[in-house]
Structure 1
């Protein structure tokens, strides 16, 4: 036992622990993949539908952004109408005052 150096023992232990960690990570990834597939299947989404699901989410994102943009334009239009009405009222008030 004297001919095995401490560095060799450390290397063997490190390699063994590293292999154990890789196996453990592989198990975790398999469990996570299986859990995700099960959840998606419970919603009626099969693994083959991933492209369609991605396209659906992209469509929903575009729809949401267009609605947000329309809301912004609507808000600007309402503010513009209010400001224009106020300025029109001020202008009519000035015209009436000067007309007297």
Structure 2
């Protein structure tokens, strides 16, 4: 996903620590409940549909012979980010902040 907190410059680690502090009352149970909230489910569905739409557009351009390499790279990035956000897991978020999932 992204670099771990212990691999970042000190200023970035400080910023990440402040952000983690703001998330201090977030629990794994609350995260799970958020993932099942109707609005969250709608947003996650949108993200996956968006990813599929981007891929379909690129496939259509490829078939038509009109695809441009820079656009393909951008589309791949957009699709990957949408999927990464839609598939975000508690453990991955905690690892990003340099904490074990059970620490929160």
Shorter-chain TM band: 0.3 to 0.5
- Point out the structure with max Rg over C-alpha: 1
Q: Which of the pair is proportionally richer in helix?
A: 1
Give the alignment's TM-score, normalised by structure 2: 0.31
Give the alignment's TM-score, normalised by structure 1: 0.32
